Amino acid sequence: MEKRAEKIRIVLVPLPIQGHITPMMQLGQALNLKGFSITVALGAFNRVSSSQHFPGFQFVTIPETVPISQHDTLGVVEFVVKLNKTSEESFKDCIAQLLLQHGNDIACIIYDELMYFSEAAAKEFKIPSVIFTTGSATNHVCCCVLSKLNVEKFLIDIEDPEVQNKVVENLHPLKYKDLPTSGMGPLERFLEICSEVVNKRTASAVIINTSSCLESLSLSWLKKELKIPVYPLGPLHITASATSSLLEEDRSCIEWLNKQKPRSVIYISVGSIGHMETKEVLEMAWGLYDSNQPFLWVIRPGSIPGSESLPEEVSKMVSERGCIVKWAPQNEVLVHPAVGGFWSHCGWNSTLESIGEGVPMICRPFNGEQKLNAIYIESVWRIGILLQGEVERGGVERAVKRLIVDEEGSGMRERALVLKEKLNASVRSGGSSYNALDELVNYIETEYSNS
Ligand code: UDX
């Protein structure tokens, strides 16, 4: 790729959890390939295992931040609020240090939409800033809609089935009942975060890790609503494949996959923070066993509260048909010819990665925007099955067979493969995401040369 932006620096500020670090580091890699120098600002406790994967990047520490362990104890909303309160001043110090070190070579600060404290430093040092939305465009639309609601009125209105089923802003099939509020704690606090996220302050553009072939309606809506440039330049995992895994990948599962029949395996992962109840895990284990399909199951340490692993008799039964690992090289798994389907919590990265390989999905979202993604997977792109209600073994068995064995699943796979082609075309030369990245680069260079 051509290098045009030699020696101009971009400072990246990721939210320090896996699902946000990954796309930010991929964005950094994509911009680095365009010739920018990249500096990543992270809290002292929240280091990415960086140097071996990102040799050209500089990493700096925001001293006063909140350790990632508090994400679990506080919950996402309170964690984000605390992180933003704590980090504003120390990030200013961090930028002041960088300016002393490098002179005025910082062209832009790109920060995760949840790291909105960054804007104060950008404003103080008159550095252009750009917001990075690592989730879907539709989720960002929802944030805009939610930020305008009156909490008391909404809580009453949403009890009415007519309101629940009303389509939001002509964005079919998005309905009011789908607004991603569940599992986010008290609505009032969550809406405060939505207001912070949609308040662009002095930021001059928004980057979104999506492609117009997936979310054209939501993107058009956002372009009108936000009144600043919007760059849908994803999926970044196709443009830049650098890995920034915080956990060690167990590659033995690839050897196990090599021994399985084509498109026979169901891959199961609930992302980097999801938890499952023991009862649900046991029903899943039996349902998977009864489906007669081989399965590759990621069970992260700590993801089943109260038990470190499956009970022995279940482990034995599971090991007859399946392979269990603590953390998998997910992109390599999804590209493997043995994989026929993905049982996912529908985090946005997993959703993009699955579509990017044409793999249909069983959707079992936990909360927030994962439910939104699941609705799009099932009803808009029609590449998956949404499992609702309590998980029981019969339902698991049926879902796996529908996806992997039945005609219905073949249709989903065909549509997923069509989307895969569209996604790949969008990041190739002349595609919409490719052009959006180029426009972003031009924009940053122009802002810098005018400063
Ligand atoms: C979080 C939120 O929960 C999610 O809803 C939001 O969209 C992004 O931030 P997370 O739950 O971890 O993310 O899910 P997801 O977005 O799917 O990201 C997980 C990442 O971990 C993916 O990039 C996936 O490839 C990677 N992963 C997961 C592995 O590399 N190995 C694994 O075994 C499991």
Atom of ligand 1 nearest to the CA of 300: 33
Q: Do 170 and 74 belong together in one domain?
A: yes
In a domain, 231, yes or no: yes
Cα–Cα distance measured from residue 328 to residue 254, given in angstroms and rounded to the nearest whole number: 9
Residue 384 to residues 231, 318, 344, Cα–Cα distance (Å): 27, 24, 10
Q: Do 286 and 177 belong together in one domain?
A: no
As given in the structure block, the two tokens for residue 133 are 């939305």
Give the global pTM: 0.96
Answer yes or no: is the C-beta of 358 below 6 A from any ligand 1 atom: no
Q: Do 431 and 420 belong together in one domain?
A: no
Q: Where are the beta strands (DSSP E) in 182-273?
A: 205-208, 230-232, 265-269
Nearest CA to ligand 1 atom 5: 347
Task: Report CA(22)–ligand 1 centroid distance (Å).
Answer: 8
Domain of residue 103: give its range. Answer: 9-244+427-450
Q: What pLDDT score does 3 carry?
A: 56
Nearest CA to ligand 1 atom 11: 271
Answer yes or no: is the C-beta of 348 below 6 A from any ligand 1 atom: yes
Answer yes or no: is the C-beta of 200 below 6 A from any ligand 1 atom: no
Report the CATH number at residue 22: 3.40.50.2000
Nearest CA to ligand 1 atom 15: 347
In a domain, 2, yes or no: no
Q: What pLDDT score does 138 carry?
A: 98
Atom of ligand 1 nearest to the CA of 249: 31
In a domain, 282, yes or no: yes
Answer yes or no: is the C-beta of 267 below 6 A from any ligand 1 atom: no
Q: What pLDDT score does 246 carry?
A: 83
Q: Do 378 and 437 belong together in one domain?
A: no
b (16+ CB within 10 A) / e for 298-316 = bbbeebbeeeeebeeebee
Which stretches of the chain drop beneath a pLDDT of 70? 1-6, 45-52
In a domain, 1, yes or no: no
Q: What pLDDT score does 231 carry?
A: 98
Task: Report CA(8)–ligand 1 centroid distance (Å).
Answer: 31
Give the three-state DSSP class for 109: strand
Task: Report CA(272)–ligand 1 centroid distance (Å).
Answer: 5
Q: Do 65 and 205 belong together in one domain?
A: yes
In a domain, 143, yes or no: yes
Q: Do 212 and 239 belong together in one domain?
A: yes
In a domain, 182, yes or no: yes
Residue found by looking up tokens 């320090």 in the block: 16
Q: Do 396 and 262 belong together in one domain?
A: yes
Cα–Cα distance measured from residue 254 to residue 299, given in angstroms and rounded to the nearest whole number: 16
**Number of independent structural domains in the chain:** 2
Nearest CA to ligand 1 atom 30: 330
In a domain, 325, yes or no: yes
Q: What pLDDT score does 1 carry?
A: 46
Q: Do 61 and 182 belong together in one domain?
A: yes
Residue 258 to residues 262, 297, 400, Cα–Cα distance (Å): 9, 15, 20
